[in-house]
Structure 1
């Protein structure tokens, strides 16, 4: 049976799942209430990708979502909090403000969600937010997560916050900032991303650390956003060249993350698996060279291989890393090298859930990421 006949995306089931998540999160995710902004972003993005955001969400509900997001905008800084549970209202003071501070990821999620919902961002404190983002850049070029006491930059410095910072700049910079100077130290940021690239090719959390697919995506997306800030915009390849990031080795590293090790017979939890030595005989890498030849020859016959993507060398496939790897490859316009047939078999044959959505692995509950 051809793969297009065997594995089909049940669009209506996924739409129903995401509509349900928009009204009431599944029980396992209610403990993450402080991350509600990120949940909202993922839900709205899913409905938008399914091309039903305007048809299944009426204008009244959309406006209520927009109002909730603006309720999360923190005074003075212009950034956004993760949920409304930390709001002090009139009781906000010098002694408690640090319990209710804006943070970089939630600000990016909030702005991106407002854009998807069709808001004009007129109520965003653009100047305050841009100045706040700029203040979060560290001397090594990276960005922290939030401002602490005495305006100290707090939070990890890794490519995730770099992507969020430059993404915010892309969304907000324009005529509304009245020509004020909100530039960042682009040269040090490029150098930081380049230093995070490991000898293996992928980008890690910090210099000299193991590469990771999610962080690698954020590093590539940061370079892409930097290119979009140029006037006129320049390609991600040009930004990578300026940053001295080796695109060829990074592409090779991502392609090597596609693996046939998609199921684990061991019932141990994920934390235990991370500490164990992987059984390299449980799966194999898909060889890019053969994929390129197959693609050039138009050979898209079902070959019986099921292969997802993992996040690090020697790890089992995981649904989220299918996006992190293929998404980064797409930014670099190298996604044609992926074995799409095997990946489709993994996503639709192994991790899609009967109620809609996708699980982290085979048999697991669907998530919001």
Structure 2
């Protein structure tokens, strides 16, 4: 499957009106590099999402074209090894028999716990990661972290040869619910469009869709489309820019766009209607920097990106910049997620040939995927 067609380029030099700041690449590069080294104190509660935070920095630097010039190959190899250290592999030395030594529990409870451990031992993928380089007892694989881990490995030039691909695909069968949605962990509490996208992107990157029930995924997406033809996190929920992207990208990766969208034209209209200056995620909400990617990439996949107001989108993104990063909105502090999404949004306009909108990785990383997994150039 070829990447989505990109029809437009955008010269930021033509947008210097209203005293809007120009995009300072060097400061943004510095901000993303710092985020790879350490994160501010408010991020302490997000330590378990370290793989995703690393993806934002690595992919942002990749889109800016400086990953190889800013870091040595040895440094990138160390990151590759760290990512692989988070992979959950079979643990023959931890069969889970310790529950037999717990007193005061019913046999049914113990058997259920042993069954849970048995299934968890089958659930191989990439865990919510810390700094460790070895598996801890009862670690659980995580669908979102598996997606960002695979994407980061491709960005770093890895060929995915150390990924237990069949185990990940088989594990996903335990994460899909009857309604077609996915949870991020076995017996997880959340199941929605975010994890549908993760499952589809993982399957695409591993070139194997046998771990998901495609018909159920398509039906779940159909049922999640609202009266306004935006798409919510699930059936009956409000249309949202992030979940609309996840649904559209999933259908594209499944090659089911025509079948899955109830009305392509009306969905495009809903997406275009989200622009004020920048893009809002929901109707009657203020614009937010991250939706320059979520909405922009959705329109790019649907071959309708030319309908946005490039200049206003660019100006809004520049207004959210401070300390080298991008913030949610003007006047707020920057964070690594909005910084990455700001860079990705700019890539759709200024450097449109650098971003694959469906996988959310650079075309260079996608080329590595085609070479390493699909065995084609």
| TM-score above 0.5 | yes
How high is the TM-score relative to the length of structure 2? Answer: 0.73
State the alpha-carbon separation in 2 of the partners of residues 167 and 137 from structure 1: 14
**Aligned residue for 1:20?**
34
Answering whether residue 294 of structure 2 is matched by residue 324 of structure 1, we say yes
**Aligned residue for 2:96?**
none
For residue 171 of structure 1, the aligned residue among 168, 183, 205 is 205
Answering whether residue 121 of structure 2 is matched by residue 104 of structure 1, we say no
**Aligned residue for 1:156?**
190
CA 1:28–1:183: 2 relative to 1, 3 Å: closer
Answering whether residue 142 of structure 2 is matched by residue 82 of structure 1, we say no
5 Å-filtered alignment, 1:58-77, equals 58-76=72-90, 77=123
For residue 183 of structure 2, the aligned residue among 125, 131, 144 is 144
Q: Secondary structure at the match of 1:224?
A: helix
State the alpha-carbon separation in 1 of the partners of residues 317 and 63 from structure 2: 16
Is the 8 Å Cα contact of residues 199 and 212 (structure 2) preserved in structure 1?
A: no
Q: Deviations over 1:113-159 (max 9, x none)?
A: 001101111111111111001331222211121113xxxxx232211
Answering whether residue 54 of structure 2 is matched by residue 37 of structure 1, we say no
Of 205-214 and 69-78, deviating more is 69-78
**Aligned residue for 2:371?**
none
**Aligned residue for 2:109?**
none
Is the 8 Å Cα contact of residues 71 and 84 (structure 1) preserved in structure 2?
A: no
- 1:27 to partner: Cα distance: 2.7
For residue 341 of structure 1, the aligned residue among 273, 291, 311 is 311
Is the 8 Å Cα contact of residues 142 and 157 (structure 1) preserved in structure 2?
A: yes
Is the 8 Å Cα contact of residues 85 and 134 (structure 2) preserved in structure 1?
A: no
State the alpha-carbon separation in 1 of the partners of residues 74 and 284 from structure 2: 48
Is the 8 Å Cα contact of residues 159 and 222 (structure 1) preserved in structure 2?
A: no
- 1:366 to partner: Cα distance: 1.1
Answering whether residue 321 of structure 2 is matched by residue 352 of structure 1, we say yes
Task: Tell me how large the CA RMSD over aligned residues is.
Answer: 1.9
**Aligned residue for 2:330?**
362
Structure scoring higher RCO (CA < 8 A, sep ≥ 6) equals 2
**Aligned residue for 1:263?**
none
**Aligned residue for 1:191?**
219
Is the 8 Å Cα contact of residues 224 and 237 (structure 2) preserved in structure 1?
A: yes
How high is the TM-score relative to the length of structure 1? Answer: 0.75
**Aligned residue for 1:267?**
none
Q: Deviations over 1:148-189 (max 9, x none)?
A: 3xxxxx232211101100110111126xxxxxx835221111
Q: Secondary structure at the match of 2:212?
A: coil
In the alignment of these two chains, the number of paired residues is 291
CA 1:3–1:173: 2 relative to 1, 3 Å: closer
State the alpha-carbon separation in 2 of the partners of residues 166 and 88 from structure 1: 28
Is the 8 Å Cα contact of residues 86 and 134 (structure 2) preserved in structure 1?
A: no
Answering whether residue 275 of structure 2 is matched by residue 258 of structure 1, we say yes
Q: Structure 1 stretches of 5 or more lacking a match?
A: 149-153, 175-180, 228-238, 260-306
State the alpha-carbon separation in 2 of the partners of residues 80 and 244 from structure 1: 31
Is the 8 Å Cα contact of residues 72 and 81 (structure 1) preserved in structure 2?
A: yes
State the alpha-carbon separation in 2 of the partners of residues 192 and 184 from structure 1: 13
State the alpha-carbon separation in 2 of the partners of residues 25 and 84 from structure 1: 13
5 Å-filtered alignment, 1:216-365, equals 216-227=244-255, 239-259=256-276, 307-348=277-318, 350-353=319-322, 355-365=323-333
